[in-house]
Structure 1
Amino acid sequence: MSRRDAQTLLAWCGLLALATHSVVRYRWWIVAGYVVVAALVVALAWTAHDDRGGRAPRTGAWVPSAVLALTGLVHLSVPAFSYLDDSGQLLVRIVLGVSSFAVAGLLLPGRGASRGLAFATAVVGAGVTAALVVVGDPAPRIDVWVILQQAADGMARGDSVYALDWVGSPGISDAFAYLPWTAVLTAPGRWLAGDVRWALAVLVLLSAVCVAALGRWRRAAVAAAALLLLAPGSSTLVEQAWTEPTVLVGLAAWAWLVRADRAWWAVAPLAVALASKQHVVALLPLLAVWPRFGWRRTVVAAGGAGVLVAPWALSGFGDFWHDTVRTMLELPPLTFADTLYTLVLNETGVQLPIVVVGLVVLGVLGTAVVALRRRPVGLAGLLMWCAAVLFAANLVNRQAFYNQFWLVGALVLLSVAAGAGSLSADPPRRHGERRARPAAPPAGASAPPSPTGD
């Protein structure tokens, strides 16, 4: 893998360790840590290059295993938030930690045939963890789970999710604050297995498959997919029924199809992601100016999202507007969120003006657009810019928790996989130049090892 990808994986590990410790507590140093990681993400995005057919500087092939081992240590040393009892929480941490160490061992250099087994091990670890938290905490005390469960029941009756009130919700009780495809993608978990969280776990698994396929199942890509499945705090994500996997599965499928030169097919999963949560629209300017996708496909994807949302919006526009726009704009700041907004509020009592918030997000977004227009940037660089834009939005948000930073981390892992998939085993050839055959070794000498491309 490249040195850049090694730096990226380390940044990811730091981000998720901070995010895991942040649930649910405010600490100024967590915010400071986020700022440092965000600066590194922007720097990695800014220095990105065109990755088509290139040969990036390599670093130790042991780095993916080292980051997986470090992730295992984070699992064992940083408790994730959970409503499970102490023994249940310990078991979850042991499963995730041991799984991380096992995958790290299987991905050590010289064990190329073990990549499939490594991915399967990560799937088993993530699956056991999901079962432990779903069965062990059958009714988590969070409004997201209540809303998704009752939304699925309402959809089964033919009701609009935007016309329902939520019974027993400990938070929001009169709004479905997401776009409708969040409900569509999670409802099968309720209908088939009694709990929407099973669907969310499956969406994470599908995203991991896309991550590995994006990187052509090379060592770094399999490691990135395993890290997505075994991320620090991943048990909290599933237990709390946080909805970011509905966005990630669309973005991951989009990236995989673009890498496979099926950019028009990639319009469909992008439309699903746009129809799931509102903030995905912030990524559209980046995709529009990136030549390998372009503004035409971006417009078609946005139009497709509009078509997917239209049945709910047109059947009751007032309810739809109240739930998806007004409710989101009127959410109060929560002082236990770890953002720059809450840092200023907690330390000084001052709420950041909306103009300042907007300038920060638009500043990073504008920088990304300029960078993508001025020089060739590959898929890995584009995905890193997407992570940077969402990272900036999280940092100045009134409410941003583990799940939002988890999505940023997932985009970072997609970038690693895209970088791994772009590396060629041989240096690029000039047009019309034939690849030279390696000279035969002298009699009695052993042949040099063949490159693995990872």
Structure 2
Amino acid sequence: MRQLLRDRTIPLAIAALALGTALQVNDGLYSPWAVALLGVAGVLASLAFWYTPERSRFTLPVLVAAISIQLGLLLADFPGSHHERHEWRDYGFFLALMLVAIAIVSRATRFHRSAFIALLAIYLLAGTWLVRITPTPYMDVFIFQRDACAALISGMNPYTITYPDLYGRDGAFVYGEGLARDGRLLFGFPYMPLTLWWNLLGYTIAGDYRFAQLIAVAVGAVMIAATTWSRVSVLAALILLFTPRGFFIVEQGWTEPVMVMLVAATVLCAVRFPHLLPYAFGFLLSSKQYMILLIPLAPLLVDWRDWRFHLKAIATACVVTLPLALANFSAFWNNVVILQFRQPFRDDALSFAAALSHLGLPKLFTAVPVVAALAVAILCARRMNRSPHSFAIAVAITFLTFFALNKQAFANYYFFVIASLCCAIASLKPSDPIVR
């Protein structure tokens, strides 16, 4: 029992499992059970902050059990959207792949590298199948990214185009008042340029940008496994690959797979390729608007006085962002920044803020999640020792706090947290203290 209580990988693994299961309950939307599991994940991730960085004889069995449970959940339900009814016959190929995966996982601790290669191939096959059978998912983000790719290839600025209003009368609930008129949305591409650059690979090569997102998750998993190429790092990567709603996130075309790949790249570079670390961190910073919350966590990677690191990271972010941003800065600013503050409160969000609303309590102020996340980030930076493992845990806790208190938080948001937890598991060095 003492070993169990000192093994930090266990609360991290169970936190990733609990969070993935929370997303499975209602596709990452509000549900009392999902909120309860979100709370469990938050408590376990925070407990890991205080656990000693050790592993025990329970480490591998717990990781294998977590992956097996996730595969069981994938067998229990259709892996993609539920907008249409699906019988098990509709996804028999996927079920067969998951059964093979379960058989391989049982051997993963003995032949971890060959098992990982086989399971990565299964993931790519399953993901390709799901993208192929849902060529046009009922999701506005899919339209945003697809049309932005088409616009860029046609020589148009994606920040100046408009989109069809997919949700019609429900548009005000999704976007807020005044952002839709006559069947069109009154804004352009709402994401960072780096997302679009990556999506272009899938759009131009395979005709569907989601293939680039599928590859991003696979590359992220390879990077997590390659952190140490140990049994633990391989199993951590498999937790990410087979989190229950992971295929759903790729199918719907959300942006987070790119962020997953980049947080894994940042941790991998911190462990094995420190000369590439500032560039990986710069890419990560430029991948999403709220990645600015990573800035207080930089001292967990390098000495905060290392001006060369900061200069290289900033230059990297500028190189991938400024060409499109400066082409029409007003449009970029309105769509990427101002639009985010106009987004409405969503009582279907998977967050404690939505839970309070369902209880009839006042809505949280917009500043609450930002202030809370910054407080957590600063606490982590001050209390944790510098290491890739500390950085990964701090990223997970910071963004879990930010999303859990936010006016909007859905499956794709928490996918990034799950990836950060997996990075933390993979980068753990036993007997390396985390708290100063």
Question: Which band: TM-score by shorter chain?
Answer: 0.7 to 0.9
| Equivalent position of 1:279 in the other structure | 290
CA distance in 2, matches of 1:322, 1:223: 42
| Equivalent position of 1:431 in the other structure | none
1:302 CA displacement: 2.9
| Equivalent position of 1:430 in the other structure | none
1:293 CA displacement: 7.4
* Stretch of structure 1 that moved more, 167-176 or 321-330: 167-176
CA distance in 2, matches of 1:333, 1:397: 9
- SS state of the match for residue 364, structure 1? helix
Out of 376, 396, 419, the position equivalent to 1:410 is 419
Q: Which amino acid aligns with 1:126?
A: Y
Q: Which amino acid aligns with 1:63?
A: V
| Equivalent position of 1:115 in the other structure | 112
Out of 241, 261, 275, the position equivalent to 1:249 is 261
1:322 aligns with 2:326: no
**Residues 275 and 81 of structure 1, relative CA distance in 2, 3 Å threshold:** same
**Residues 64 and 89 of structure 1, relative CA distance in 2, 3 Å threshold:** farther
Out of 340, 343, 353, the position equivalent to 1:341 is 353
CA distance in 2, matches of 1:275, 1:267: 12
TM-score by length of 2: 0.86
Contact 2:269 2:280 in 1 (8 A): no
List per-residue Cα deviations over 1:22-73 (Å, max 9, x = no partner).
3164222321321221122122124465xxxxx7555354333222222222
| Equivalent position of 1:192 in the other structure | 205
Question: What are the equivalent positions in structure 2 for 1:105-184 lying under 5 Å apart?
Answer: 105-108=106-109, 111=110, 114-167=111-164, 169-170=166-167, 173=185, 174-184=187-197
Contact 2:345 2:408 in 1 (8 A): yes
| Equivalent position of 2:181 in the other structure | none
**Residues 99 and 227 of structure 1, relative CA distance in 2, 3 Å threshold:** farther
| Equivalent position of 1:434 in the other structure | none
CA distance in 2, matches of 1:392, 1:313: 29
| Equivalent position of 2:178 in the other structure | none
Contact 1:48 1:378 in 2 (8 A): no
- SS state of the match for residue 407, structure 2? coil
CA distance in 2, matches of 1:238, 1:146: 14
CA distance in 2, matches of 1:23, 1:92: 22
**Residues 295 and 45 of structure 1, relative CA distance in 2, 3 Å threshold:** farther
| Equivalent position of 2:180 in the other structure | none
**Residues 56 and 17 of structure 1, relative CA distance in 2, 3 Å threshold:** closer
1:355 CA displacement: 4.1
Out of 354, 358, 382, the position equivalent to 2:391 is 382
- SS state of the match for residue 343, structure 2? coil
Contact 1:17 1:78 in 2 (8 A): no
1:95 CA displacement: 4.4
1:255 CA displacement: 1.2
Q: Which amino acid aligns with 1:123?
A: L
Q: Identity rate of aligned residues, in percent?
A: 23
List per-residue Cα deviations over 1:201-226 (Å, max 9, x = no partner).
01111111101110x21111111112
- SS state of the match for residue 239, structure 2? helix
CA distance in 2, matches of 1:237, 1:383: 22
1:304 aligns with 2:316: yes
Q: CA RMSD in A?
A: 2.5
**Residues 62 and 271 of structure 1, relative CA distance in 2, 3 Å threshold:** same
Contact 1:263 1:293 in 2 (8 A): no
Contact 2:390 2:424 in 1 (8 A): yes
Contact 2:189 2:335 in 1 (8 A): yes
The unaligned stretches of length 5 or more in structure 2 are: 176-184
1:35 aligns with 2:43: no
Contact 1:30 1:338 in 2 (8 A): yes
Q: Which amino acid aligns with 2:231?
A: R
Question: What are the equivalent positions in structure 2 for 1:38-53 lying under 5 Å apart?
Answer: 38-47=42-51
CA distance in 1, matches of 2:106, 2:131: 29
1:91 aligns with 2:88: no
CA distance in 2, matches of 1:80, 1:25: 15
CA distance in 2, matches of 1:74, 1:22: 13
CA distance in 2, matches of 1:185, 1:400: 23
Contact 1:177 1:327 in 2 (8 A): yes
Contact 1:254 1:266 in 2 (8 A): yes
Contact 1:64 1:219 in 2 (8 A): no
Contact 2:15 2:40 in 1 (8 A): no
CA distance in 1, matches of 2:315, 2:265: 18
* Stretch of structure 1 that moved more, 99-108 or 228-237: 99-108
CA distance in 2, matches of 1:91, 1:278: 39
1:91 CA displacement: 3.1
| Equivalent position of 1:66 in the other structure | 65
List per-residue Cα deviations over 1:279-317 (Å, max 9, x = no partner).
111112111354467653245313421232111221111
| Equivalent position of 1:77 in the other structure | 76
**Residues 99 and 163 of structure 1, relative CA distance in 2, 3 Å threshold:** farther
1:369 CA displacement: 2.2
